[in-house]
Structure 1
Amino acid sequence: MYRLSIVRFLINGRSSPCTAVIPSTSLELAHFLHLSSSSLLPQSLPSSKAPEEERLPPLQWRTQLLRCMLPSSLPLPLPFRGSHYLPTAPPSFSFFGVSRPAYRPFSSLRISGSRTTGRSTISGGSLRVVCEKVVGIDLGTTNSAVAAMEGGKPTIVTNAEGQRTTPSVVAYTKNGERLVGQIAKRQAVVNPENTFFSVKRFIGRKMAEVDDESKQVSYRVVRDENGNVKLECPAIGKQFAAEEISAQVLRKLVDDASKFLNYKVTKAVVTVPAYFNDSQRTATKDAGRIAGLEVLQIINEPTAASLAYGFEKKNNETILVFDLGGGTFDVSVLEVGDGVFEVLSTSGDTHLGGDDFDKRIVDWLAANFKKDEGIDLLKDKQALQRLIETAEKAKMELSSLTQANISLPFITATADGPKHIETTLTRAKFEELCSNLLDRLRTPVENSLRDAKLSFEDLDEVILVGGSTRIPAVQELVQKLTGKDPNVTVNPDEVVALGAAVQAGVLAGDVSDIVLFRCYSPFLGLETLGGVMTKIIPRNTTLPTSKSEVFSTAADEQTSVEINVLQGEREFVRDNKSLGSFRLDGIPPAPRGIPQIEVKFDIDANGILSVAAVDKGTGKKQDITITGASTLPMDEVERMVKEAEEFAKEDKEKREAIDTKNQAESVVYQTEKQLKDLGNKVPTAVKEKVESKLEELKNAISGESTQTMKDAMAALSQEVMQLGQWSYDQAGASDTESASTEPSEPSPSPSGQSREGGDVIDADFTANLD
């Protein structure tokens, strides 16, 4: 599964051999650059206090990648690891004394080890390659899409309805039937309390965080005993976690992809907004697990968009991805070129999206109606749902028109009769209603460029992602901010899914020339005296990374310390998110400030955070690994997985019942038509048998048993075959009789005249039997 190679690095004219474990297929050297931070150095090369000329070179250097085809042998540990520095000259490889046997595929590779640079250590992660089809999924707030690598290019997978995107909507009817996608969206107006949309805004969050969002939907959002968000479904008397609803959307996407690709899909790369925190990312993975899907990787939506844009591009470019989706807003700055994608910075607002623009129209319509009629439509669930749908349509119309006509007949009724809404919304008025939302788009753009230490003049391209970027005022804002016309060569609704498919292709081994350097967006730190957050890992740090700080006790004779790990941008603990905590005991009593406690943060390439605290005096150590603070307990996730499997089985049975019923009704129609066409020509015995079985099938259709319908269809088919055989025999007998009867003279015509020659005469004869 691995190949041992002697690799000779030529650095500044000197060669330095070292051994390395390499996977058994050819990989770009950049994969190793990704796994072991931003460099590969031989073990003997010092990395601390590296001179200026040996520090990390620009992206243009790292794009000079060498493809290595290495011979097979036994695996050995990799004796070196990445550091903060790279030599000025790119390393070249020389293989000696080894043969080159046949190559074979590999399933996974994990490189372990570390290399320290001063007080900072870069730790590696894992690269997993799976030899099967992996899809990329854009799990959106409003719409979702799935894509896969086909013929070496990312391709959007059409759903069962033939559409390229699927509404992220799930509904339950009063008889308990579950609807997903377009069919669920179509019935939302008549079933608002049981139709769930914009669920992405609630995933992985506590009820206290979503008070405003919960007022914008037509279904009830409630709090469970742990303060988590639950979505109430009166139709079946159940409360759902947001992860369960998202899982149902994922399940449909994967089922449609399996049919499209003619391959059962079980693995995927799923995208999330760049500013999703650990809880939201873990909740998204939980949703995949509930759907029976193995989520191999979670990547940021702007990063995915850049992968789609930069796929097969060779020129080095600095791009800004402006992603305004249905529920979130993200901005990322990346360097792209020759297969290398490096995220320089990320910023965003998880409380700003296209839904907020829709809500301004909803509030405007409701306020005007209340002013004119004295009725608050926001308290009427059905009316609210109609307003939401109308607002979305009006917003879309205003992207190409200067005004939108809004007509909502019978929006409600009073004792005086039905009430209607008939009005016109101009683009100018819409932009006025959304002016402060447009202002909020500026800050993340400016922050992202500041964090990347770039100016607007350094940008080569601006990529727009998300349907709401079609709003003219948004495009105008981007143009004014950046001084560049936005790139419109990519479809904003599909580009994220296409990029996710590219990364899925990397993991599946279908794509070998792409390397992604990701960064960790928010600050990480811990709680210190006075409820202050002391920041350890800066925002937008490239992964993998590690950093440590030394702290001391806050009181005399203190023998233990509580390490509270925090994530966020604010200065105080109360305003940030706690990821976990642990206690270090056994500290020798001493005056405050004397004990030396080193706390080390370590994040691997997959974003898994490990925090360790060591008392330097005694060597005692305690640590914690944070893979994501899920809002759902593991046993509840397991319950949801089993429930989803039961639902999948139930859905399959319901689908089979519907298909069988449709087939049975078709058989009934065709049989009745055949009997009618044959009329009295059919022998009574044969006809009675067919009609008997036909009646049995009609009764089976009226019942509820799928198997009974199948049995009745089979029985009827046997009799219909007998009927068909009789028809065939009769036709054969007629042909034989006609062939054996040769008249010696022409037959008379219907008019009593004779015809000469061998022409065929078509005529009807009527015999009077009276």
Structure 2
Amino acid sequence: MLGVRQGKSPHELATTSRDGTTDILSDSGGCIIGIDFGRTKCEAAIVNDDGSVALIPLELQSPATCFSLPSFVSLGVPRTGEWEVGKRAVSRAKAGHPYTVYDLTMLLGQKVASLSPQDVNHWPFTIRAGVAGKVLVECPRKLQSPDFVYPEQIAAMLLSTIKQRAETFTGKIVTGAVVTVPAAYNRTQCQALRDACSIAALNVDQLIVSSTASAVANSKSVTDATVIVEKTILVVDCGAGSLNVTLASVNSNGNGNGAEVEVTAAATAGDLKTGGEILTDQLFEHFLQESTTTDVNSRTTPAFSRRLRRACTLAQRILSTSLQVSIDVPPLQLRRGSRDLVTNNLSLPGFTSAISRSEFDSLCGVETWNRLPYTVEQVLKLAQVKKEDVDAVLVTGGAMQVPKFRKVLGDCFVEHWNRIEDLPEHTAAIGAALVAQFSGCVLVNESTPLALGIRSSGGDSLVVVPPSTRIPTRQSRVYYASVQNEIAFDILEGIAGPEQEHTGNTGTSPNKLEHCLGRVLIDGRRASAPLILKLEITFEVDKAGSLVVLISDSSNHRVTHLQVRGDETCLSTEAVALAQAHMSEVLKSSIAADPGSERKPSQGLMALPDSCPIDTLRAYVEKLKLMVLMNDFGVCVLPGDLFMLQTRIENASTWLEQLDTNQQGSQDSIQTAQEYLRQIRTLHLSSTASSALVQLRQELDLHT
């Protein structure tokens, strides 16, 4: 049952002041919510005490659409707690604010080299490569804080807002969440989302594929509670930024009270290159090229691009119900000093054009439309289920309102088109909430969307865990290698199976998602076998999705153990803790400050008074940690220097923690510590300068 709390409307409850809920929060137990974290919007829900599901109002500026929070974050906003989210941030993006960040699901867990140049060019915010090529986002420089932040920190701002508004709505402290993810997310991206939740003080109970969450939300509607029944459903969730497909079996025990409905995800697959925003990109590039044929200078300004993209977004929605749409971008008068002013001309000419639905379908191309049926066929093949055995095809997501997507899906089930049904809105958030507050009514058995395996340095691949394997699981394979001094294996996710390699489908597949999670080295010098080494490779995946790799050498009974979180771009535990402490300080200061007075600066980023020398030194060590971890200068320090810096900082931190703050230590000890920290800072500056000089020489060589 989907409902809201009695007495007040959801919007009224959401706008309740924090002062009115302080006592309630202190006396109530914690709760776990479900969050649908999407590319363009976020939604949240909770299961009430009576078993009904309540959507949580997140957007306080719009009562009509209060259940959806736009996934936009504006950084460096004065007098509002350092950031704004939702529609206020959208308004800043429309005005050309250079520090408004969106498309967060595309930035999490990514390297700059893996981003699409087309996406990077149309983003108004600036990104830069950090350590290991990790994406960093530019933010306004404030005092001694870095001018680049991780995408995880920006996502945490969004999640923290969701957490606060959920607490206001429920009157309880939100301690954890079940969060939806795209099926095509790799482990690095999932870990980045987990880190973002940790920074926002949210414990992630489970990550669940959005289409699987929708299957859970509608499990009772497709079964009869009075009889024992098993039904097979296919959920197609195509939103703004991803396509997710889940084939699930729904079992009812028939006891008549609706309890014990078991949902088992038999197969899951996804595509990050299919969705409404991808269609808008095609439309935008088409009209941008058409407009620049008449006036290149005016048409390439950021202001014109922003306005044209908004017009294309609206046009794409209109084409879902109309056969033709007109594009009308009116002229614009710029102000002097505007960042959008690229010439001395203060006026931007308008632009008018039109496109029909058939032209739009041809513009996007056959490959774009075929991604959906390909993914559906892939899921059916993995689950070994025939189309006629599917009892219901449930579709959700804004992009599924596009007629061409509906047509290609109908062509997949041409003989069973009457089984295609539309799901109501917010189903992913509702399903996540049901999983979060499991009370015996719904059971969920998840599967691994992507295959897991290894690849040797010689190029030999081995799939250990096939795609859509139910978790928890423990899978083992035997690998024979020639005896060498050192044997290296890359741990891969999304690796192609033997049938794909045999048929050559890997190159033509639109879903090539192979991703290296790390490397493990085996010492072959102590092998007892003279020529051939027999290795047993075991992958263990628990119910939470954690991966452990074990490689056993049968000749000498040695076992190599490796816990895999993600690739080298994953944040360290220290970086997450520092980001969490920073956010906590900002939230505390924003709550404590008077609305009419100027907000106090975050004490976590400022030096402490000299009345407590040890605490001052400890604060300085924390600042050094932050500068090194956040790559403050934007220059990739050599790995050896980086390791030395981190080691010395850790030694200084450990030594200072052993000192008693009350005794304050001897003057000699304090002077020694100050000199040691000064040497670390000097090493940091010199290493950065040397690396910058090397990079500068490389760039000069490229241009000569």
**Fold agreement, TM-score > 0.5:** yes
Which residue of structure 2 aligns with residue 258 of structure 1? 167
User: What is residue 236 of structure 2 aligned with on the other side?
Assistant: 322
Alignment partner, residue 435 of structure 1: 365
Q: For the structure 1 residues 576 and 435, does the alpha-carbon distance in structure 2 shift closer, same or farther, using more than 3 Å as the test?
A: closer
Aligned to 2:588: 649
Whichever of the two has the greater Rg, that structure is: 1
| Distance of 2:37 and 2:346 partners within structure 1 | 46
Partner of 1:444: 375
Q: 2:510 aligned with 1:581, yes or no?
A: no
May I ask how many residue pairs the two structures share in their alignment?
524
Match of 2:337 in 1: none
Pairwise CA distance, 1:235: 7.3
Structure 2 residue aligned with 1:167: 70
- Of 529, 532, 541, which aligns to 1:594? 532
Secondary structure in 2 matching 1:184 = helix
**How many angstroms does 1:447 deviate by?**
1.0
Structure number with greater CO (CA < 8 Å, separation at least 6) is 2
User: Which deviates further from its counterpart, 176-185 or 199-208?
Assistant: 176-185
2:349 aligned with 1:426: no
Question: Displacement of 1:488 after TM fit?
Answer: 4.4
1:639 aligns with 2:578: yes
Distance in 2 (CA, whole Å) between partners of 1:704 and 1:253 is: 25
Unaligned runs of 5+ in 1: 1-129, 662-702, 707-770
What's the offset of the Cα at 1:580? Answer: 2.7
Matching residue of 1:101? none
Larger mean Cα displacement after TM superposition, 240-249 or 576-585: 576-585
Secondary structure at the counterpart of residue 522 of structure 1:
coil
For the 8 Å contact 1:586–1:620, the answer to whether it is kept is: no
Alignment of 1:341-380 (within 5 A): 341-375=263-297, 377=299, 379-380=300-301
1:561 and 1:584 in contact (8 A); partners too:
yes
Please identify, of 545-554 and 299-308, the stretch whose mean Cα deviation from structure 2 is larger. 545-554
- The one of 197, 204, 216 equivalent to 1:288 is 197
Q: Moved runs in structure 1, 4+ residues, more than 6 A? A: none
Structure 1 match to 2:636:
none
- Once the two structures are superposed, what CA deviation does each residue of 1:423-452 show, in whole Å capped at 9, x if it has no partner? 333323322222332122221111111111
Q: 1:245 aligns with which of 130, 154, 160?
A: 154
C-alpha distance in 2 between matches for 1:471 and 1:643: 43
Which digits, 9 at most, give the CA deviation of each residue in 1:661-695, with x for residues without a partner?
4xxxxxxxxxxxxxxxxxxxxxxxxxxxxxxxxxx
What is the TM-score when the length of structure 1 is the normalising length? 0.64
The aligned residue for residue 54 of structure 2 is 155
Match among 40, 43, 47 for residue 142 of structure 1: 40
1:499 to 431, 435, 451: 431
Give the alignment of 1:379-390 within 5 angstroms.
379-390=300-311
Q: What residue number does 2:321 align with?
A: 400
1:569 partner SS:
coil
1:515-559 CA-to-partner distances (Å, cap 9, x unmatched) read 11111121211122522321111111111111222223324xx35
Is the counterpart of residue 523 in structure 1 residue 446 in structure 2? no
Contact 2:30 2:173 in 1 (8 A): no
- State the shift of 1:600 in Å: 1.6
Contact conserved, 1:552 with 1:593, CA < 8 A, in 2?
no
Task: In structure 1, give the amino acid aligned to 2:99.
Answer: N
1:182 equivalent to 2:87? Answer: yes
Counterpart of 2:676 in structure 1 is: none
Query: Of Structure 1 and Structure 2, which has the larger fraction of its residues in helix?
Result: 2
In 2, the alpha carbon distance for the partners of 1:705 and 1:247 equals 21
Counterpart of 1:478 (choices 406, 409, 417) is 409
The question of 1:231 aligning with 2:159 is answered no
Select between 391-400 and 356-365 the one with higher mean Cα deviation: 391-400
Counterparts in 2 of 1:646 and 1:132: CA distance versus 1, 3 Å: closer
Amino acid in the other structure paired with 2:104: V
Q: How many angstroms apart in 2 are the aligned matches of 1:456 and 1:440?
A: 18
> Do structure 1's residue 210 and structure 2's residue 108 form an aligned pair?
no
**3-state SS in 2 of match to 1:183:** helix
Amino acid at match of 1:459: V
Asked if the contact 1:267–1:293 (Cα under 8 Å) also holds between the matched residues in 2, the reply is yes
User: In 2 relative to 1, CA 131–302 (structure 1 residues): closer, same or farther, beyond 3 Å?
Assistant: farther
Q: Distance in 2 between the 1:234 and 1:372 partners?
A: 36
Other-structure match for 1:490: 423
Once the two structures are superposed, the pairs formed by residues 93-112 of structure 1 within 5 Å of their partners are none
Q: TM-score, normalised by structure 2?
A: 0.70
Instruction: Report the CA distance shift for 1:601/1:191 in structure 2 as closer, same or farther (over 3 A).
Output: same
With over 3 angstroms needed to count, the CA separation of the structure-2 counterparts of 1:225 and 1:376, relative to structure 1, is farther
Q: C-alpha distance in 2, partners of 1:397/1:173? A: 35
1:512 aligns with 2:443: no
Aligned-pair CA distance for 1:502: 0.5
1:681-696 map, 5 Å: none
> Helix, strand or coil for the counterpart of 1:345?
strand
When structure 1 is superposed on structure 2, of 160-169 and 209-218 the one drifting more is 209-218
- Separation (CA, whole Å) in 1 of partners of 2:401 and 2:285: 22
Q: Distance in 2 between matches of 1:341 and 1:318?
A: 10
For the residues of structure 2 that align with 1:266 and 1:524, how far apart are their CA atoms? Answer: 32
- Report the alpha carbon displacement of residue 591 of structure 1 after superposing the two structures with TM: 6.2
Please give the secondary structure, in 1, of the residue aligned with 2:185: coil
* Cα distance, 1:593–1:308 mapped onto 2, change above 3 Å: farther
Q: Is the 8 A contact 1:456 1:482 kept in 2?
A: yes
SS at match of 2:281: helix
The answer on whether the counterparts of 2:589 and 2:599 sit within 8 Å (CA) in structure 1 is: no
Any conservation in 2 of the 1:194–1:235 contact (CA below 8 Å)?
Answer: no
Contact 2:111 2:133 in 1 (8 A): yes
3-state SS of the aligned residue for 1:534?
A: strand
How many angstroms apart in 1 are the aligned matches of 2:535 and 2:163? 49
Can you give the 5+ residue segments of structure 2 that lack an aligned partner in the other structure? 1-27, 253-260, 335-342, 507-511, 601-704
| 8 Å contact kept, 1:136–1:498 | yes
Please state if 1:533 is matched with 2:466. Answer: no
In the alignment, what sits opposite 1:269? Answer: 178
Q: Are 1:567 and 2:466 an aligned pair?
A: no
